[in-house]
Amino acid sequence: MYVLLLISKYLRRKLAPLFACLAVVLCTAMVIIVMSVMMGFLAKLQSSAQRLSGDVIVQAGSITGFEGYEDLIERLEALPEVAVATPVIDVPGLVKIGTRSIPIAQVVGVEPTGYDAVVGYAGTMYWQDHHRVALHDRIYGDPSMQSEAELALRAEWEQLGFERLGAELRVPPGWQQRIDEALPVSGAIVPGLEVSPYNWRDDQGEYDFDRTLANDGSRVILTVLPLTRSGGLLEPETRAFATVNEFKSGLYEVDANRVYVPLDVLQGMLGMDEGIAIGEDGLPTGETIPGRVTEVLAKSADGVPLEAVADAARRVVNEWELDHETSVFTITWQDRHGRLLSAVANEVRLVVFLFGVTSLVAVFMVLITFWMIVRAQTRDIGTLRAIGASRIGILSLFVGYGLAVGVLGAALGTAVGTWIVVSLNEVQFFLANYAGVTTTLIGSVLVGAAGGAVIATAIGFVNQRMRWWLVRLTPIVAVLCFVPLLIGVAASADFASWLNATIRFEMWNPQTYYFDEIPNQIDAPAVAIVAVCAVLSSTLGAVIPALVASANNPVEALRHE
Amino acid sequence: MSSRLSTTNLQKRYRSGGGWLEVLRGVDLSIADGEWVAILGRSGSGKSTLLHLMGGLDQPDGGEVRFDDRNLSSLSEWGIDRYRNRDVGMIFQAYHLLPELTALENVTIAAMLDGGPMCWLRRRSQAKARAAELLEKVGLADRATHRPNKLSGGERQRVAIARALMNAPAVLLADEPTGNLDPETGGEVMAVIEALHQGGQTVVMVTHDDAIADRADRRVVLEKGIVKG
């Protein structure tokens, strides 16, 4: 019982264990943050990759695609393991929006309804009705509009482009060509949110549509290279598309490079649509040429494991290949993104391992602290032994002390780490936008206090009233430094903006990483394992000093100075 | 009177430099029940070492210490811990109170060490009442919640006496209990010990002070590691 009493007293009245506790807190929080971000990164990458590919992909051996996809889809959908399948054309193309050109964009032709059923495409549409309403209100409320006619024309134009904000990939019924447009719009397009140069992200992380730059923004010029069935290159095909919405997958690379267009339109552009064969004499032969696609994506039925779906699909595809005398590949979403996913998984393991090893510093910190504590408590150990405490009792006192420090440190570290992980995007946002003003104001207080302390110390050396001067000058000079800056920041928005622009820390750039936000998912079992490891590490650090304490000779301990 | 605590041919040596320092060279001593024995001697004569051996704090290199006819050297480690906790109470010149605990807790902790947590939970209130009673007995009832750094030297020593008595030991072993105190405060502490002795408490006290030794039933003088005369 005395062990519990003394541990509780030591924890409350000793400064040294607080440092050991702080080391445990910092190491626990550090590992939780790193692990959560890295594992969240991997999890988000996996879910995004799956969302973009469906579960099973049947892909053509070449960019020219394959025929008979309708039959393949029918056979796949007949499988109990497959819920739904959809045809896709995935080819490179040149995309031009306003002033921006993307030379090797990913042009994806889809049947919106079927594609949505497989990958949840409709859920990635960014612009919703409330955006359209807000845009309409802004146009009508903008005093820079010169005339009623201009206002009405601009508003009509803006609204038409967003009249249908669904994912149907259909040009709105009321769409009107502008008379100066050389290339007529031949279909609807849904680009990634980062494709357009006119989208920009505001301070809250929301995207906004800058209408003043958007005079041509809803028109997308798409150029693709049609190929013959044998792979021969034909003349590039260029068409204009009307933007009916934009998607946000969360993967920056995809959002900045991919556009969706209707499957039939893309088939037409690439010469992959169904048609009548032309003979050598240039006349129709009467034979029908089937349409082609480059991929068929399939979604597994609920509860069916991925490998079971893939095996069933492979069996069906093999039969289909024989019937159609063609050759395709059947892969899972994991196969398609395997290289990237395994590279990131390795990276996650490596980083977590390295930070885990770094956290051993907590063990040494606890060991050193407890070594010092045992040295400082030697006489108390002697006293306890003199009044009947056993060696086991002394051992359990210090091991228990280490355990208590570990439990306290792990609990606080888990709380701090979890809070930081959950608030990481807000913290990043704050550092990127308000670090300048914040650090300047805090810095002014610290510099002022330090300056005041130096002056007080100097005066104190002369008139021996150092404490008197310290107590007065330190806060006064701190306030004198702080107040002018506070007034400057409050009075001048430009000054505050300049400070925030000059001193900023952007720890996450979505253009460098795959995602536009820092992954911040908490994996509760992993966090629990980290907390348990922290407790064990702290206890381990206390074991050697505890053994030394228990081995102390009582007489020598009582004589210890 | 029957012998409660005794030593026979007790020897102890310590390594000093390259050789050995013989501190006790064969001490024969018998303490009767209820007796107050003062052990005197010059510095380095082995007084404190003798007290530590009798208190079970150290192991002799030769001879034996017997308590109620039990040889301490034959006891297990657990048996020795139990002996220190129950059978003897020790008072030190430097008080050796635990600075984190209050006066009451410093006294109570001796009872906490006797038995496990369940045992303590059963007799917690009884032990606290006894600790409070002992503090009252040594005149410190109003200092029960004070930590040692808020107590004077005399008060600390009286708390140490109360702690030594907590488990009602058969023998009180005091190592120069007034050595750090001024004469007036030392007198107060000695008054407490004297009162205890008059109540039947067996006391073995190491001291330099002849005046204090005169108040004991018997004087034993150590010289160069053996009992003189």
Distance from CA of B173 to the nearest CA of A (A): 11
> Contact A331/A295 with Cβ under 8 angstroms?
no
CB contact under 8 A, A5 and B52: no
Reference A184, options A199, A201, A171; nearest CA is A171
Summarised one tens digit per residue, pLDDT across range A193-252 is 888 887 777 656 677 765 544 455 567 899 999 988 777 888 999 999 888 888 888 777
d(CA A415, CA A165): 42
pLDDT at residue A81, as a whole number: 94
Chain B nearest-CA residue for A555: B57
pTM beyond 0.80, yes or no = no
Considering only CB atoms, A1 lies closest to which of B81, B101, B112, namely B112
Residues of A in contact with B97 (CB under 8 A): 383
* DSSP 8-state code for residue B209: -
Q: Are strands A258-262 and A237-243 parallel, antiparallel or unpaired?
A: unpaired
Q: H or E segment at B172?
A: strand B171-175
Higher pLDDT, A463 or B77: B77
Kindly report the length of chain A: 561
Partner residue opposite B52 with nearest CB, options A380, A391, A555: A555
- The one-letter amino acid code at A11 reads L
Spatial distance between the Cα atoms of B188 and B29, rounded to a whole number of angstroms: 29
The C-alpha atoms of residue B102 and residue A8 are separated, in whole angstroms, by 13
Q: Is the confidence at residue B164, as pLDDT, over 70?
A: yes
Q: By percentage, how much of chain B surpasses pLDDT 90?
A: 57
How far is it, in rounded angstroms, from Cα B156 to Cα B150? 9
Complex-level ipTM beyond the 0.95 threshold: no
pLDDT at residue B171, as a whole number: 94
- Spatial contact of A110 and A121, defined as CB atoms under 8 Å apart: yes
Residue A7: its pLDDT value, please? Answer: 87
Distance from the Cα of B142 to chain A's closest Cα (Å) equals: 22
Alpha-carbon gap, residue A419 to A439, rounded angstroms: 22
Q: Return the closest-CA partner of residue B158 out of B205, B191, B183.
A: B191
Provide the shortest C-alpha distance from residue A383 to chain B (in Å).
6
pLDDT of residue A213: 45
Residues of chain A with pLDDT below 70 are 132-167, 172-181, 202-205, 209-218, 510-516, 561
What the block records as the tokens of A353 is 């391992």
Secondary structure, 3-state, A407-463: HHHHHHHHHHHHHHHHCHHHHHHHHHHHHHHHHHHHHHHHHHHHHHHHHHHHHHHHH
Point out the residue among A6, A385, A393 whose CB comes nearest to the CB of B100.
A6
Own/partner contacts of A153-156, CB < 8 Å, gap of 24 or more, are A154/A211
Contact flag B117-A1 (C-beta cutoff 8 Å): yes
Average pLDDT over residues B143-171: 92
Report helix, strand or coil for B199. coil
Hey, are the CB atoms on B113 and A382 less than 8 Å from each other?
no
Q: Is the pLDDT of residue B3 over 90?
A: no
pLDDT in tens, B173-228: 999 888 888 888 888 888 888 998 999 999 999 998 888 899 899 999 998 888 88
CB distance B96–A9 less than 8 Å? Answer: no
Q: What residues of chain B lie within 8 A of the CB of A2, using their CB?
A: 109, 112-113
Q: What is the largest CA-CA distance in chain B?
A: 54
The reported pLDDT for the residue numbered A373 is 82
Higher pLDDT, B75 or B15: B75
How near does any CA of chain A get to the CA of B195, in Å?
22
